[in-house]
Structure 1
Amino acid sequence: MFGRKASLTQRLAALDEAAALGGDHLSPAEHAALARVADAADERRRLSGEHTVVGFFGATGSGKTSLFNAVVGEDLGKTAARRPTTSSPLAAVWDPAGSEELLDWLEVEDRRIRPGEFAPGAGPLILLDLPDFDSVEPVHREIATRLAGQVDVLVWVTDPEKYADSIIHDHFIRPHASHSAVTLAVLNKSDRLSDADRKAVSRSLEQLLKDDGLKKVSVIPTSAKTGYGIGDLRSAIARIAAAHSAQTARIEADIATVTAPWAGQKPLKAVPDSAKEWMDGLLADAAGSDRLADITAAAYRKRLGQKTGWLLTSWMLRLRPDPLKRLGLREEADDTGVHRSSIPALDASGRAVANRGVRGYAADVSEGLPDRWTSAVVDRTETIIDSLPEELDRAAARTELPAQPSRAWGLFTVVQWLALLTALVGVIWFLLAAFVPGVLHPLLDEVIPTVEGWPVPTLLILGGLLTGIVLGMFTAVNGLAIGSTVKWRTRRALRREVAEISEEKVAAPLLEIREQYSQFLDAIRVAAGK
């Protein structure tokens, strides 16, 4: 956030964004956890910010309710025959103004208003006595689990016999390992221990809590029976309440817990350009770049021969079908995207080459992505592969093919015609001299003059024919040489079209998933306060 730590409002907005970006790429449990924390935080901040909500959690037999009554200063259970056991939440409320909506959100119906204040400076306070979280009644465990995710301060109550019970640590304490700042640990029934044993068990419990991830929690030994440690517990609760930061600390701890799986992930590196270049090369091969280059070169040679070849034989080239037109290809690009060529559909080998290119690129895109995001890339890749043959055919149809000889070759056409006309003059001269000799007498002193012993008509005929043949051979040789350039230009043009199509149809859809994950990580980092 531009060098400044994001506010809680910004962090919650980022958490909402992360949940939206995660979408189907997160497991249902992961998505629900992100959404639940964001929604719960919004609800809690909307409700009374003055009241600090403290929940007492414990296993059956831990003396939790007796401890709760000792802290409250009265056995609230005696005032209500409808609550013989801890089967539903009970709230002790100091300074109740504004607490109604908050208690409604907590779904706590049993509310007891306490006179005065809990402790000097503690401010409005709500203490909750909750059902045992190891109760045989599923509804009791559900209530305890739900409120463990809603209260501002968690008080874990255990006793010397059950303090190491795995149910407490595995299912409740460890999932809240980020909540050290709003957690109090109580070793109740400590009157059953000697002073030395009380210290030893407290140290053991403290170590277990550290192993659970609660690094800053101290154990408070208490006895609801004798009153030992009750004052210390009240002071600890009052100190947290007086700071008026428990609500924010709790929300921040919830965010830290839910973002922990991703907050430490490193940003993704960009997919190297070489990955797409490699894919484009294979796609161009699959699209028949070599065959198209050969066909275009053949068409160029045919048209050059028709245009500049010896006129007495070049007409025969016109009888051969044009290689490009036979396949429905055109020299100009088909920008409409409607035209299709008659190039045979990809065979098994061509499909294998194209699929290898796309899957190889998908593997590069998936580099560094979690499993579910990788699966999304794989699924989208298979969809892309299904439409790939049609797209490659479209690339061929869109390719501008350099099969038409330039207009400069027209000069050779003119020379060919002049050479042919020269030869025809020689032939006509001989014919006139043979069949109508009197016609030439007024024009020439000699009907058939000679040069160095060669009749001029003969020279005209030989010169015209030889010129046409030599020019035809010259342009044919040049056609072969230029054909190599035509092949190269054709391959380049087709690869350019393939690159554009692969960018739109392959790279963009796959990189979209990668970009979503990058944006998801960015939102997670902001939410986590990184």
Structure 2
Amino acid sequence: MSRHSGSRESSRLDGRLQALNDARELGDGVLPDEALEDVVRVLERASSRRSLSADHTVVGFFGATGSGKSSLFNAVSGAEIATAAARRPTTSEPLAGVWGVDGSEPLLDWLDVRSRHHAAPVDGFADEDTGLILLDLPDFDSTREANRKVVQRMVGLVDVMVWVLDPQKYADAAVHNGFLAPLASHGAVTLVVLNQADRLPERDVAPVLESLRDILSRDGLGKVRVLATSAVTGAGIDALRADIRRVALQRKAQSQRLAADITKATADLHAASGEGDAAGVRPATKDRLADELAVAANVPVVVRAVSRSYRLESLRRTGWPVTRWLARFRPDPLRRLNLRSDASAELNRTSLPVAGAPERARTDAAVRAFADAASAGAPGPWRAAIRSAAREGRERLPDALDQAIAGADLGANRKSWWWGLFNVVQWLALLTVLGGLGWLGVLAGLGYFQMPVPEVPRVEGWPVPTLMLLLGVVLGIVLALTGRFIAAGAAGARARRARKRLHTAVAFVAGKLIVEPVEVEVSRLAAFNTALRKAAG
């Protein structure tokens, strides 16, 4: 592999590893811990393996009891590195044959292989052109749990896997379901050997190999290299050794193994997550949420109170002075709700009724409907995360909404320009009435005491004092009625402004406590899917 292509491959792997790590971080708290831990192991292996010798290819021999794995290992190595047959019926710990010692020690330390043998050059394996480590590993079906753990660990560490099967148990479900099928993405770094082929009649070798290839194809390893060998007769040994040497000289096994690990980890994360993207937050669903929360938070009650408060204040300021004082005995609806802007600055709560069961049910339904709409299309774990984010904010809604309403500018103390004008005219009308009454009273007193009564000015035959009295009364009544009509229209306008401001305040609270957390989870899913696609290459 050229330096340029190797650098390009390394850069591509770096990008995939970073994307895989990003997906892991984004999935934390959403996906099962087991799936995330598998990713951590891949990332840790990648970091460790890439920091060690890139000149050595680690090839592990895996097989079941009786498959002749150790004998095959010796035959390929060209020496009795592994003690076979009666002297060593089972492999109890990893054993390494090393060609190209320089740089191999730290790698073997990382693999935790203590039994090491500097192998002599053999056809295809020589120190000067091959950095190679062959590992004879315990049987994967060993009755000793420690041996099985070693095999499981080595499956995740070696660069190339050689699976040694025998004619009697080549279709054993234990190896296919437990190892080969789960490693379907690792076909580029997998060799399958049908060992002890000498035990088969020559005519049966080809059909058995064909049967094995069919089974491997069902495992997802249809393109993997399959060889027939015999450690006794030496059949297939040279071909197997040549395949291993070719892999070692290409210096691609390490990156291929890592790429396969990333592919498998990505597929596992995808399986744990599921397929799909969330519909996300739309303006219409945000508006519906704000509308429902406004009703649940008693915004209509506040709006009606704003309207009634304005009409009451208008009556106090523009009503007929003789009767307007009676309005002062009527309680201000806003003051009763602790919503007048002249209330104590220390108070940040309203006196609105505490949310009862209907209001809580309405709030819960609104939040649930919003979360369901936003999470539509998302896979199960992410849909649950989106709904959970909405529920967490739901618990703080009642208090936050009450504070938002308490802090909203309702214009409660804002005066209207027409109040002053009407007030002046009302007092002039009252003074006119009092003037007319006083004049008539003086005239009546003079007549009562038999004193000369001066001539009263007349207009169209009507005495001026009488006209003053009538005009003042009529004007006061007309002004009072007109003021009521104007106050009703102005109260409606002020109520609409208050409703708009309250809805804005409610929408802000809903945005902070419900919408934003949901948007974060929706964006998190989108980023996760993007990272997963990058990790998949």
**Identity within the alignment, %:** 44
Identify the residue that residue 477 of structure 1 maps to in structure 2.
485
Kindly state the Cα deviation for residue 183 of structure 1 after the two structures are TM-superposed. 0.7
Q: Number of aligned pairs?
A: 520
Distance 2:219 2:203 in 1: 25
Identify the residue that residue 505 of structure 2 maps to in structure 1.
497
Question: What SS does the corresponding residue of 1:24 show, helix, strand or coil?
Answer: coil
User: Is residue 2:19 matched to residue 1:10?
Assistant: no
User: Is residue 2:318 matched to residue 1:290?
Assistant: no
Decide which moves more: 473-482 or 275-284.
473-482
Q: Which whole-Å deviations, capped at 9, do the CAs of 1:123-158 have from their partners, x for residues lacking one?
A: 200000100101111111110010000000011110
Q: Which whole-Å deviations, capped at 9, do the CAs of 1:87-132 have from their partners, x for residues lacking one?
A: 1001000001111111011110000001337447862000001001
Matching residue within 503, 511, 527 for 1:519: 527
Distance 1:526 1:288 in 2: 49
Quick one: which amino acid aligns to residue 231 of structure 2? A
Kindly state the Cα deviation for residue 294 of structure 1 after the two structures are TM-superposed. 1.1
Contact 1:304 1:405 in 2 (8 A): no
Alignment of 1:141-156 (within 5 A): 141-156=148-163
Identify the residue that residue 309 of structure 1 maps to in structure 2.
319
Distance 2:342 2:49 in 1: 66
Identify the residue that residue 54 of structure 1 maps to in structure 2.
59
Identify the residue that residue 32 of structure 2 maps to in structure 1.
27
Identify the residue that residue 77 of structure 1 maps to in structure 2.
82
Indicate how the Cα distance of structure 1 residues 169 and 17 shifts in structure 2: closer, same or farther if over 3 A, else same.
same
Kindly state the Cα deviation for residue 194 of structure 1 after the two structures are TM-superposed. 3.1
Matching residue within 259, 264, 268 for 1:257: 264
Identify the residue that residue 414 of structure 1 maps to in structure 2.
424
Question: What SS does the corresponding residue of 1:26 show, helix, strand or coil?
Answer: coil
Decide which moves more: 360-369 or 102-111.
360-369
User: Is residue 2:190 matched to residue 1:183?
Assistant: yes
Decide which moves more: 219-228 or 191-200.
191-200
Distance 2:79 2:125 in 1: 15
Quick one: which amino acid aligns to residue 348 of structure 1? A
User: Is residue 2:128 matched to residue 1:128?
Assistant: no
Distance 2:156 2:190 in 1: 12
Question: What SS does the corresponding residue of 2:235 show, helix, strand or coil?
Answer: coil
Kindly state the Cα deviation for residue 447 of structure 1 after the two structures are TM-superposed. 4.4
Identify the residue that residue 197 of structure 1 maps to in structure 2.
204
Quick one: which amino acid aligns to residue 508 of structure 2? E
* Structure 1: gaps (5+ residues): none
Quick one: which amino acid aligns to residue 473 of structure 1? L
Kindly state the Cα deviation for residue 474 of structure 1 after the two structures are TM-superposed. 1.0
Contact 1:337 1:398 in 2 (8 A): no
Identify the residue that residue 299 of structure 1 maps to in structure 2.
309
Distance 2:332 2:88 in 1: 97
Contact 2:277 2:377 in 1 (8 A): no
Distance 1:237 1:25 in 2: 42
Decide which moves more: 291-300 or 513-522.
513-522
Distance 1:122 1:210 in 2: 34
Quick one: which amino acid aligns to residue 444 of structure 2? A
Matching residue within 362, 368, 377 for 2:371: 362
Contact 2:70 2:83 in 1 (8 A): no
Kindly state the Cα deviation for residue 83 of structure 1 after the two structures are TM-superposed. 5.9
Identify the residue that residue 458 of structure 1 maps to in structure 2.
466
Kindly state the Cα deviation for residue 248 of structure 1 after the two structures are TM-superposed. 0.5
User: Is residue 2:516 matched to residue 1:508?
Assistant: yes
Contact 2:303 2:495 in 1 (8 A): yes
User: Is residue 2:277 matched to residue 1:276?
Assistant: no
Distance 1:196 1:81 in 2: 30
Quick one: which amino acid aligns to residue 401 of structure 2? L
Contact 1:206 1:218 in 2 (8 A): no
Matching residue within 223, 229, 232 for 1:225: 232
Distance 1:239 1:265 in 2: 39
Distance 2:356 2:462 in 1: 64
Q: Which whole-Å deviations, capped at 9, do the CAs of 1:273-308 have from their partners, x for residues lacking one?
A: 222211111100101122111111100110111122
Indicate how the Cα distance of structure 1 residues 338 and 435 shifts in structure 2: closer, same or farther if over 3 A, else same.
closer
Distance 2:181 2:341 in 1: 70
Contact 1:122 1:239 in 2 (8 A): no
Decide which moves more: 497-506 or 300-309.
300-309
Indicate how the Cα distance of structure 1 residues 414 and 215 shifts in structure 2: closer, same or farther if over 3 A, else same.
farther
Q: Which whole-Å deviations, capped at 9, do the CAs of 1:321-365 have from their partners, x for residues lacking one?
A: 11101110135899x996000001011111111111111112223
Q: Which whole-Å deviations, capped at 9, do the CAs of 1:43-87 have from their partners, x for residues lacking one?
A: 000011110000111111111111111100112134999966311
Matching residue within 172, 178, 182 for 2:179: 172
Question: What SS does the corresponding residue of 2:133 show, helix, strand or coil?
Answer: strand
Quick one: which amino acid aligns to residue 75 of structure 1? E
Contact 2:389 2:514 in 1 (8 A): no
User: Is residue 2:147 matched to residue 1:137?
Assistant: no
Quick one: which amino acid aligns to residue 375 of structure 1? A
Q: Which whole-Å deviations, capped at 9, do the CAs of 1:218-267 have from their partners, x for residues lacking one?
A: 31111111111111111111111111011001001000001114558454
Distance 1:326 1:482 in 2: 21
User: Is residue 2:247 matched to residue 1:240?
Assistant: yes
Question: What SS does the corresponding residue of 2:396 show, helix, strand or coil?
Answer: helix
* Structure 2: gaps (5+ residues): 1-7
With structure 2 as the length reference, what TM-score do the two structures score?
0.91
Identify the residue that residue 38 of structure 1 maps to in structure 2.
43
Contact 1:327 1:342 in 2 (8 A): yes
Question: What SS does the corresponding residue of 1:128 show, helix, strand or coil?
Answer: strand
Identify the residue that residue 400 of structure 1 maps to in structure 2.
409
Distance 2:121 2:427 in 1: 119
Distance 1:93 1:414 in 2: 110
Q: Which whole-Å deviations, capped at 9, do the CAs of 1:160-219 have from their partners, x for residues lacking one?
A: 111111100111111111011111111111122234321111111112112111232131
Distance 1:333 1:370 in 2: 50
Quick one: which amino acid aligns to residue 201 of structure 2? S
Contact 2:98 2:134 in 1 (8 A): yes
Contact 2:165 2:194 in 1 (8 A): yes
Kindly state the Cα deviation for residue 10 of structure 1 after the two structures are TM-superposed. 2.3
Indicate how the Cα distance of structure 1 residues 465 and 82 shifts in structure 2: closer, same or farther if over 3 A, else same.
farther
Quick one: which amino acid aligns to residue 14 of structure 1? A
Contact 2:279 2:374 in 1 (8 A): no
Contact 1:331 1:399 in 2 (8 A): no
Identify the residue that residue 161 of structure 1 maps to in structure 2.
168
Indicate how the Cα distance of structure 1 residues 266 and 389 shifts in structure 2: closer, same or farther if over 3 A, else same.
closer
Indicate how the Cα distance of structure 1 residues 304 and 208 shifts in structure 2: closer, same or farther if over 3 A, else same.
same
Quick one: which amino acid aligns to residue 183 of structure 2? H
Alignment of 1:325-404 (within 5 A): 325-331=335-341, 339-403=348-412, 404=414
Quick one: which amino acid aligns to residue 509 of structure 1? P
Indicate how the Cα distance of structure 1 residues 337 and 183 shifts in structure 2: closer, same or farther if over 3 A, else same.
farther
Q: Which whole-Å deviations, capped at 9, do the CAs of 1:395-418 have from their partners, x for residues lacking one?
A: 221222144452233222222122
Matching residue within 81, 89, 103 for 1:98: 103
Contact 1:262 1:521 in 2 (8 A): no
